[in-house]
Amino acid sequence: MNTPASLRYTREHGWARIEEDKVYIGITDYAQHMLGEIIFVELPLPGDEFAAGEAYGTIESVKAVCDLYCPLSGTVVAENENLLCFPELINEDPYQNWLVVLKMSNPEEIDDLLEASAYEAVCLEEEQAYEE
Amino acid sequence: MKNDLIIIGSGPGGYTAAIHAAHQGANVTIIEADRVGGVCLNQGCVPTKVLYQNARVFNTVKAAGNFGVTTTGVSMDFARMQQRKQKIITSLTGGIERLLKAKGIKLLLGRAALADKETVRVVDDNGGVRELKGGHILLATGSHPAMPSIAGIDLPGVCDSEELLAVEELPKSMVVVGGGVIGIELAGIFNTLGCKVRVLETMPTVLPGFDREISQRLTIYLKRKGIQIYTGVSVEEIEQCDDGLLVKAAGGKKELALKADKVLISTGRIPNTSGLNLEKAGVEFGPQGIKVDEWYATSVPGIYAIGDVIGGKMLAHVAAQEGIAAVENMMGRRRRVAYETVPECVFSFPEIAAVGLNEEEATIRGINYITGRCAFAANAQAQAMGKREGVVKVIAHKDTKELLGVHILGPHASDMIHEASLGLVQKVTLDAVGWMVHAHPTLSEAFIEAVRDSEGKAIHQMKGL
């Protein structure tokens, strides 16, 4: 499992990279692995506002359609348009291929996000639950 | 011989009505000013579908390597494609002419107009004039492409869909003004054949009127194939420049100047009401076409109108059904077309077919609805065909579980939609579809899976991670 220590994570398998008042968000390596081949993403447009935990888009693979959940509250300032045409890039490198950039409206929420080690524990728990 | 019915226009509406009336024992005369079969056969549905198939074959051959079939030196011969198209048109129109003859319907070539409330005057190419009287008159004169008043609209190289379909050489680049059904179909065909295509649409999405999720998804697929799409922009003027035409457009903060060899204007169609002498005969009409009541009767007793000339959806299959309904109504029966369950198809890559309500309409009507989806990527047959793009989306009433709308984007969507149409006509529930066994492996399994998904019970889909 590839879980860069420099990022923060959510239980819904999202990652966040904070750069000043902006945050790049995407889905984790574990998530792309579980989804399998990603064939479609639907992203919000710049200007759309989301609260932490709210669904901001959908991602579709040959196996599943999932909502994407916002790790932090904010306003979309950019969508990764390239992914609309080439969604398989998320499989290739889920951390390089961010989905949207938000301007954070409540930076205090960062404290609620998981560190890499805590997120890995969440993934392990899920796998164990599956095996049981 | 006394005419029971005189029909002006031999497109799909007119000739279908003629044959239906002949089947009831009527003496029918049908008058055509141009070519038998109307726009549909000569400059519309049929020629686009022939070229669409050419483009499809080209796509298939280019992708042959993915199937382990080795090809070398694949190229296309546009002139031969156009010859093939003409051959099919000639064969089909000839077929209609023979059909009319076999049914005892008299075909007259010439321009027809109403001389009075019960007389049709026909002027043939040689200036010969004939007057016909009939029990009933049916106006089925169709429509023509709208040409908006944009500066430069008359420049050479600016064309409508009918002119574009007749070009002898494939243009290297084309700007399509208007991202409706006609614009999107021709954009896809010409792009596949190797023309660089850009589409301009004034609305926020292409294919206005279709389910927004479906049109947004198509937009992505079109972009993947190299078609550039600009929405929310209006064309301001077209100029001649050194090497072609320059289309200037603007909208919001966007300002565009796009160069192209050809500019296709596909901004809608206008009912053919002029030259019919409608005012003098007292037939009411407006910019939207001839006014008819729900039984296709015009304001003049005995005169009926159907098809594009009465406005509305302007689809060949609607015109044909209206033709049958109008004939029934002339005979004192009461029939009208079930407009709520008319399928609409777009021959894009991939195809779209839709019937019933879309999500926006369901919302506007305040319906408490549920939706379900199945991506073709999850369908075995689609995988085998190498056609994984697309989705089937169903909309149903949340409480009654009645099927309300089906929207298919994907391979053979136009063939698949009729199962859904029958379901809507019969007002079936999700459960009824779910218990109808669908053969495996078929594309139609995506429909039953979408139906199951609307209740969170899709067999081949995980929910969430």
* pLDDT in the model for residue B3: 87
pTM attached to this predicted model: 0.91
Residues of B annotated as part of the active site: 440
Q: Are B262 and B167 in contact (CB under 8 A)?
A: yes
* pLDDT in the model for residue A130: 75
- What are the Cα distances from residue B457, in Å, to B56, B58, B404? 35, 39, 19
Among B16, B18, B14, which residue's Cα sits nearest to residue B5? Answer: B18
Beta strand pairing call for B391-397 and B403-410: antiparallel
* pLDDT in the model for residue B463: 64
Look at B375 and A13 and tell me if their CB atoms are within 8 Å: no
Among A119, A26, A4, A19, which residue's Cα sits nearest to residue A71? Answer: A26
- Positive or negative, the Cα torsion across B272, B274, B276, B279? positive
Q: Are A88 and A41 in contact (CB under 8 A)?
A: no
Among B43, B345, B37, which residue's Cα sits nearest to residue B164? Answer: B43
Phi then psi for residue B449, to 5 deg, are: -70, -40
Phi then psi for residue B375, to 5 deg, are: -80, 140
Count of CB pairs separated by less than 8 Å, A with B: 42
- Site from B222, B230, B465 to mutate, A interface, most A CB atoms within 10 angstroms: B465
Among B364, B344, B328, B199, which residue's Cα sits nearest to residue B265? Answer: B199
Chain A residues closer than 8 Å to B377 by CB: 37, 39, 60-62
- What are the Cα distances from residue B76, in Å, to B146, B242, B262, B443? 32, 28, 20, 29
Q: Are B14 and B30 in contact (CB under 8 A)?
A: yes
Q: Looking at chain B, which residue has its C-alpha nearest residue A28?
A: B465
Among B30, B326, B295, B11, which residue's Cα sits nearest to residue B142? Answer: B11
Chain B residues closer than 8 Å to A62 by CB: 375, 377-378, 388
Q: Looking at chain A, which residue has its C-alpha nearest residue B374?
A: A65
Q: Looking at chain A, which residue has its C-alpha nearest residue B382?
A: A62
Residue A62 confidence (pLDDT) above 90: no
- What are the Cα distances from residue B43, in Å, to A8, A51, B79, B166? 59, 52, 17, 8
Chain B residues closer than 8 Å to A63 by CB: 378, 461-462
* pLDDT in the model for residue B394: 98
Report the C-alpha gap between A56 and A43 in whole angstroms. Answer: 7
**HEC readout, chain A:** CCCCCCCEECCCCEEEEEECCEEEEEECHHHHHHHCCEEEEECCCCCCEECCCCEEEEEEECCEEEEEECCCCEEEEEECHHHHHCCCHHHHCCCCCCCEEEEECCHHHHHHCECHHHHHHHHHHHHHHHHC
* pLDDT in the model for residue B1: 57
Per-residue pLDDT in tens (0 to 9) along chain B, 465 residues: 578 999 999 999 999 999 999 999 999 999 999 999 999 999 999 999 999 999 999 999 999 999 999 999 999 999 999 999 999 999 999 999 999 999 999 999 999 999 999 999 999 999 999 999 989 999 999 999 999 999 999 999 999 999 999 999 999 999 999 999 999 999 999 999 999 999 999 999 999 999 999 999 999 999 999 999 999 999 999 999 988 999 999 998 889 999 999 999 999 999 999 999 999 999 999 999 999 999 999 999 999 999 999 999 999 999 999 999 999 999 999 999 999 999 999 999 999 999 999 999 999 999 999 999 999 988 999 999 999 999 999 999 999 999 999 999 999 999 999 999 999 999 999 999 999 999 999 999 999 999 999 999 988 877 666
Look at A39 and B464 and tell me if their CB atoms are within 8 Å: no
List CB contacts of B63: < 8 A, sequence separation 6 or more. Answer: B386
Residue A85 confidence (pLDDT) above 90: no
